């Protein structure tokens, strides 16, 4: 099956300013959403997509206000349904570049069903999940990603809900693209968003985002400058999985699981360190990478990027085939088909 | 039996009943097709259980299919002239649908002690009294069919599936029809299985010959095919659900907008999606969503992107779509929601008909959320009401709910085939690219509809959403703006009344009694009123298809009559709606909530009672 591209490229060289809307941005000062918006606005010019062909679809929540702040077509819909609405937009007009923005509650609680099915179909959508592990717009209730045991307004004795890891959900739903980034590293965010846009099929970017009002520092254990290099690893396709301030730590597969090792200690050499391959079809290793945390560094960058014919292409191929070779050329043909008679 | 022993009738009702797997729906369809091809008008009523294959020989598993044929048919008929019962359970549960004196054909081989017990009989059901009241034919359908199967070397299981053909053959003889058309159908359907074709044809012929030789049957009952009464043109048979699907296809072609259907399977609406899924060659973009909510949400997304967007469902599914319907109202996007109503509440009676979603259609959303509601009133006119729903949605930029029901959707009728070019034009309110005056909620001064600017169009970038906006587009929580936008959304729907025809009164307009109906009940109501006027009684009748807004002359009509009876298959939802609009008009109600359509007889009893009061 030959690969087809449905979104036309633009000849115009856009800048970030071309995508900045005239609306006042109303997020709290210091909110991680500002940085994500900025990264997104920096991404659009790099995709060379005609401005008119970009559609931003969101659900409900703080992050879902984003369509108002981007000067494209936009749809600020209802809670949890952004993926479903975006699917309709793309099916009605495959020439549109469709971006979906949701928070953790929006995408994985009320909208969980739509998210996994959009991923399963490999519908050509660029999905960004702003994960601050809390319901911010309703002022501080626990979400499906809130850490186990955390005290929030609706869990005064600590949550007893085990959280979702968005990456694992993506893998479980046979997702073809998953990347993770931090709101406070805009260059990485722009980089993975650009990669997501290039991907044919459903791409999911999880941004670990800080809500300074209701869940401040929830990601601090990995994002603080003092620890970031040791607690995170930025994966790059084809390169050894090395991390740490001194760039001397790496990931090794010990036959049972991943482990962090120090190069030069206990006989470990660079040759022992795993090479990242984002294109492996089997989800096993990507699942392990997405799962990392605790003693292992949290994986950032593009964790999985697998080629699989997108729903968009499968759909359009069938449409084209039927439009060309199908039985009926117009509705009159259909009305007069089969058993009919004259009175 | 000779040819002169033919009893001619204006109309004839045949009911096929058997186990869910006995092929009764197919027998009924083939009989109605053969009747239609010989110039009869037809209406059918499939009456089947929700269970796909309930335990064999039980009443729970009985599936029925009633066919009404004749010169001018409005409904599927109250009771049948000929009943086919393939087992004791079918006989027991369906006999109530047979007229006194009807011909009852049973498969005698199935009346075993075991099957009789399963059907709940303690003794022989064929009492002397019964045999006197009906013409009963004990036909050895199973054993005769088995013999043919054996002689052709076909396995038992395949042979058993052909029993319905034997019964159909008998009916064809009894109603003086030839077998050719059905032979042709079988050849088409089983083109790749010549032995199945051969067997079915042989069984069908055997049934025909068996009936011919039968001394019990003294006469054929033949409906008069009176083609003169029918409007000239090309005709076909069509079910309501297929007609709905085709109406949407026609609207798509005529409006130049891609057709999108986002739906989730639900009885009895599924066939709308099944039908449209076949027609990619006509540009139908069908999406089977992960749930009802995704069905409507994908349609709303498609509408934003410029499609003629639709979703099809039934009662519980409409409940799930409520929030998204509010979004379509708020964003003022065109959307057609087809609700093939069934018995409720909750899962209710999935395979039975009812009109009890009216309140949900009118009011089932949060906030002030007006939209257009229309209702089809026959299986065939589902085509025109689907078309009309699409036209209204596209021209007035609003969601439209089309109410049909299980009776219309699954039932079939003759359909006079129109030319798409002869259908009324549809002019979507598309914005002009780079129009400097474009504002997302700027309204047409006549219709109050906003303009539709599609992603991909240059210079019209804008945002829509569930939050209140001001006319220029941006968000607004200003109290005066919310009041204005609320008023304008209502005004837009109210003004649709300027674009729809006046309500008509039929029967005897000078009567004291006005019968009011809406939606799928028009067949039985029309016939009841017609028969009463023919009997010298005076009854006027008005039937509503435009529900919200109502035609402008509705009040004038209602105020004219001393007595009004609103007839509907619910507890009085339309009556309640009319009372809120026309509190000055006293109305009585006639309601039925049994999962069944009205019968002409019960309607006439009620109207006679009202006339006598």
Best residue of B29, B297, B325, B418 to probe chain A, by most A CBs closer than 10 Å: B297
User: In this model, does residue B4 exceed pLDDT 60?
Assistant: no
The strand pairing partners of B8, in sequence order, are B222
CA–CA dist B527, B533 (Å, integer) = 10
Q: What percent of chain B has pLDDT over 70?
A: 98
Among candidates B37, B304, B331 on the partner chain, residue whose Cβ is nearest the Cβ of A89: B304
Among candidates B301, B454, B458 on the partner chain, residue whose Cβ is nearest the Cβ of A85: B301
Do residues B267 and B51 touch, judged by C-beta distance below 8 A? no
B123 in helix, strand or coil?
A: coil
Give the phi and the psi of residue A206 in degrees, each rounded to 5: -100, 125
Element holding B292 (H helix, E strand)? helix B292-304
Location of each CATH 3.40.920.10 domain in chain B:
6-229
Mean pLDDT of B317-324: 98
Mean pLDDT of A52-64: 97
User: In this model, does residue B3 exceed pLDDT 60?
Assistant: no
Smallest Cα–Cα separation from A300: which of A236, A211, A225? Answer: A236
Q: Does B34 touch chain A (CB under 8 A)?
A: no
Q: What's the DSSP call for residue A96?
A: S
CATH fold of B6-229 reads Pyruvate-ferredoxin Oxidoreductase; domain 3 (3.40.920)
Distance of CA B95 to the CA centre of its chain: 24
Find, in chain B, the residue whose alpha carbon is nearest to that of A111: B294
Mean pLDDT of A182-208: 98
CA–CA dist B589, B596 (Å, integer) = 17
Q: Does A269 touch chain B (CB under 8 A)?
A: no
Location of each CATH 3.40.50.920 domain in chain B:
506-612
Query: A88, B33: Cβ pair inside 8 Å?
Result: no
Find, in chain A, the residue whose alpha carbon is nearest to that of B473: A68
Query: A84, B301: Cβ pair inside 8 Å?
Result: yes
Mean pLDDT of B563-587: 97
Query: A326, B281: Cβ pair inside 8 Å?
Result: yes
Q: Put the strands of the sheet holding B335-341 in their side by side order.
A: B284-288, B259-263, B308-313, B335-341, B399-405, B372-375, B546-548
User: In this model, does residue B322 exceed pLDDT 90?
Assistant: yes
Residues of A in contact with B249 (CB under 8 A): 331, 334
Q: Does B6 touch chain A (CB under 8 A)?
A: no
Residues of B in contact with A339 (CB under 8 A): 33, 37, 181, 236-237
| Sign of the alpha-carbon dihedral angle for A219, A225, A227, A232 | positive
Among candidates A75, A318, A340 on the partner chain, residue whose Cβ is nearest the Cβ of B280: A318
Query: B234, A329: Cβ pair inside 8 Å?
Result: no
Best residue of A85, A323, A336 to probe chain B, by most B CBs closer than 10 Å: A85
Mean pLDDT of A178-182: 98
Q: Does A191 touch chain B (CB under 8 A)?
A: no
> What is the band of B185 on the pLDDT scale with cuts at 50, 70, 90?
confident
pTM here? 0.95
E-strand stretches of A225-297: 232-235, 242-243, 249-253, 258-262
Class of domain B506-612: alpha beta
User: In this model, does residue A169 exceed pLDDT 90?
Assistant: yes
Cβ pairs bridging A and B (under 8 Å)? 205
Q: Determine the pLDDT at residue B218.
A: 63
Taking only the tens place, the pLDDT of each residue in B418-444 is 999 999 999 999 999 999 999 999 999
Q: Determine the pLDDT at residue B227.
A: 61
Smallest Cα–Cα separation from B87: which of B109, B54, B55? Answer: B109
Residue B535 CB coordination number (10 Å): 10
Q: Determine the pLDDT at residue B217.
A: 65
Q: Determine the pLDDT at residue B295.
A: 98
Taking only the tens place, the pLDDT of each residue in B112-135 is 999 999 999 998 899 888 889 999
User: In this model, does residue A58 exceed pLDDT 90?
Assistant: yes
Q: Determine the pLDDT at residue B231.
A: 84
Q: Determine the pLDDT at residue B131.
A: 87
Query: A340, B253: Cβ pair inside 8 Å?
Result: no
Q: Determine the pLDDT at residue B228.
A: 66
> What is the band of A251 on the pLDDT scale with cuts at 50, 70, 90?
very high
Residues 6+ apart with CB under 8 A from B215: none
Among candidates A71, A76, A91 on the partner chain, residue whose Cβ is nearest the Cβ of B287: A91
Mean pLDDT of B223-241: 82
Query: A117, B294: Cβ pair inside 8 Å?
Result: yes
Angle at B278 between CA B277 and CA B282, to 5 degrees: 95
Class of domain B236-422: alpha beta
Q: Determine the pLDDT at residue B72.
A: 84
The strand pairing partners of B336, in sequence order, are B310, B400
Residues of A in contact with B461 (CB under 8 A): 51-52, 71-74
Query: B461, A71: Cβ pair inside 8 Å?
Result: yes
The strand pairing partners of A152, in sequence order, are A155
Element holding B527 (H helix, E strand)? helix B522-534
Q: Which domains does chain A have, with CATH numbers?
A: 16-218+309-332 (3.40.50.970)
User: In this model, does residue B225 exceed pLDDT 80?
Assistant: no
Residue A325 CB coordination number (10 Å): 8
Location of each CATH 3.40.50.970 domain in chain B:
236-422
Residues of B in contact with A325 (CB under 8 A): 281
Q: Determine the pLDDT at residue B50.
A: 78
Q: What percent of chain B has pLDDT over 90?
A: 84
Query: A88, B301: Cβ pair inside 8 Å?
Result: yes
Q: Determine the pLDDT at residue B548.
A: 98
Q: Determine the pLDDT at residue A140.
A: 95
User: In this model, does residue B1 exceed pLDDT 70?
Assistant: no
Residues of A in contact with B289 (CB under 8 A): 84, 87, 117
Predicted-complex ipTM score:
0.97
CA distance A198 to chain B (A): 19
Mean pLDDT of A115-134: 98
Q: What is the mean pLDDT of chain B?
A: 94
Q: Determine the pLDDT at residue B216.
A: 67
Q: Which of residues 318-347 of B touch A (CB under 8 A)?
A: 323-324, 327, 331
Query: A328, B281: Cβ pair inside 8 Å?
Result: yes
Taking only the tens place, the pLDDT of each residue in B515-546 is 999 999 999 999 999 999 999 999 999 999 99
């Amino acid at each position: 099956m030959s690969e087809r591209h449905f979104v036309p490229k633009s000849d115009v060289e856009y800048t970030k300013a071309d995508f900045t809307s005239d609306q006042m941005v109303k997020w709290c000062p210091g909110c991680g959403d500002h940085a994500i918006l900025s990264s997104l606005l920096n991404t659009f010019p790099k995709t060379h997509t005609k401005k008119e062909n970009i559609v931003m679809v969101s659900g409900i929540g703080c992050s879902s206000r984003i369509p108002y702040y981007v000067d494209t077509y936009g749809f600020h819909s209802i809670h949890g349904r952004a993926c479903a609405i975006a699917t309709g937009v793309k099916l009605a007009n495959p020439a549109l570049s469709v971006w979906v923005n949701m928070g953790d509650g929006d995408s994985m609680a009320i909208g969980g069903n739509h998210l996994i099915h959009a991923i399963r179909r490999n519908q050509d959508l660029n999905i960004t999940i702003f994960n601050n592990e809390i319901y911010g717009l309703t002022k501080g209730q626990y979400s499906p990603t809130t850490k186990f045991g955390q005290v929030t307004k609706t869990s005064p004795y600590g949550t007893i809900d085990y959280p979702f890891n968005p990456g694992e959900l993506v893998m479980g739903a046979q997702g073809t693209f998953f990347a993770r980034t931090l709101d406070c590293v805009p260059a990485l965010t722009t980089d993975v968003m650009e990669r997501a846009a290039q991907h044919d099929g459903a791409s999911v970017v999880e941004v670990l985002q800080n809500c300074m009002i209701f869940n401040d520092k929830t990601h601090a254990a990995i994002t603080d400058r003092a620890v970031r290099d040791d607690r995170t690893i930025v994966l790059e396709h084809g390169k050894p999985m090395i991390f740490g301030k001194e760039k001397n730590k790496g990931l090794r597969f010990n036959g049972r699981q991943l482990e962090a090792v120090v190069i030069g200690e206990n006989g470990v050499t660079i040759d022992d360190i795993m090479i990242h391959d984002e294109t492996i079809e089997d989800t096993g290793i990507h699942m392990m990478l997405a799962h990392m945390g605790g003693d292992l560094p949290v994986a950032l960058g593009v964790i999985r990027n697998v080629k699989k014919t997108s729903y968009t292409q499968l759909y359009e191929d069938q449409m084209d085939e039927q439009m060309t070779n199908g039985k009926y050329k117009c509705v009159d043909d259909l009305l007069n088909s089969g058993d009919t008679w004259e009175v | 039996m000779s040819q002169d022993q033919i009893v001619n009738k204006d109309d004839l009702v045949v009911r096929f009943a058997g186990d869910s797997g006995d092929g009764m729906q197919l027998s009924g369809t083939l009989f109605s097709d053969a009747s239609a091809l010989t110039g009869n008008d037809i209406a059918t009523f499939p009456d089947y259980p929700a269970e796909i294959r309930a335990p064999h020989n039980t009443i729970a598993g009985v599936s029925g299919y009633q066919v009404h044929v004749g010169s001018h048919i409005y409904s599927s008929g109250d009771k049948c002239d000929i009943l086919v019962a393939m087992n004791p359970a079918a006989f027991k549960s369906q006999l109530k649908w047979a007229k006194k004196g009807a011909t009852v054909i049973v498969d005698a081989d199935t009346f075993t002690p075991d099957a009789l017990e399963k059907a709940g009989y303690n003794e022989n059901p064929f009492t002397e009294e019964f045999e006197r009241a009906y013409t009963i034919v004990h036909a050895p359908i199973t054993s005769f069919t088995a013999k043919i199967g054996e002689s052709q070397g076909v396995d038992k299981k395949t042979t058993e599936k052909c029993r319905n053909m034997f019964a159909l053959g008998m009916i064809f003889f009894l109603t003086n029809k030839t077998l050719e058309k059905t032979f042709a159908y079988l050849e088409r359907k089983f083109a790749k299985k010549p032995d199945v074709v051969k067997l079915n044809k042989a069984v069908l012929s055997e049934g025909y010959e068996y009936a011919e030789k039968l001394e019990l049957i003294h006469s054929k009952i033949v409906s008069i095919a009176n083609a003169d009464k029918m409007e000239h043109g090309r005709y076909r048979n069509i079910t309501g659900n297929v007609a709905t699907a085709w109406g949407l296809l026609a609207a798509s072609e005529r409006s130049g907008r891609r057709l999108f259907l986002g739906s989730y399977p639900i009885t009895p609406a599924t066939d709308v999606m099944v039908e449209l899924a076949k027609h990619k060659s006509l540009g139908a973009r069908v999406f089977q969503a992960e749930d009802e909510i995704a069905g409507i949400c994908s349609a709303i997304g498609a509408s934003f992107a410029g499609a003629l967007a639709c979703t099809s469902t039934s009662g519980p599914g409409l409940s799930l779509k409520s929030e998204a319907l509010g979004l379509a109202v708020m964003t003022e996007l065109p959307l057609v929601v087809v609700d093939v109503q069934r018995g409720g509440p909750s899962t209710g009676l999935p395979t039975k008909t009812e009109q009890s979603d009216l309140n949900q259609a009118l009011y089932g959303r949060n906030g002030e959320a007006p939209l257009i509601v229309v209702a089809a009133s026959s299986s065939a006119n589902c085509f025109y009401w689907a078309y009309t729903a699409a036209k209204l949605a596209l021209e007035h930029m609003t969601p439209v709910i089309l109410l049909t029901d299980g009776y219309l959707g699954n039932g079939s009728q003759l359909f006079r085939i129109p030319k798409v070019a002869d259908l009324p034009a549809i002019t979507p309110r598309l914005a002009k690219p780079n129009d400097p005056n474009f504002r997302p909620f700027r309204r047409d001064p006549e219709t109050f509809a906003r303009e539709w600017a599609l992603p991909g169009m240059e210079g019209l970038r804008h945002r829509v959403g569930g939050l209140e906006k001001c006319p220029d587009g941006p968000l607004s929580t200003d109290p005066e703006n919310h009041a204005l936008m609320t008023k304008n959304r209502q005004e837009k729907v109210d003004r649709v009344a300027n674009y729809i025809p006046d309500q008509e009164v039929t029967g005897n307009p000078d009567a004291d009694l006005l019968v009011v109906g809406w939606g799928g009940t028009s067949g039985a109501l029309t016939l009841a009123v017609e028969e009463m006027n023919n009997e010298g009684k005076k009854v006027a009748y008005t039937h509503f298809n435009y529900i919200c807004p109502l035609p402008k002359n509705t009040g004038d009509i209602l105020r004219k009559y001393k007595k009004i009876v609103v007839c509907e298959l619910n507890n009085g939802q339309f009556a309640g709606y009319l009372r809120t609009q026309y509190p000055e008009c006293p109305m009585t109600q006639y309601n039925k909530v049994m999962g069944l359509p009205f019968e002409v007889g019960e309607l006439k009893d009620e109207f006679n009672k009202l006339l006598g009061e």
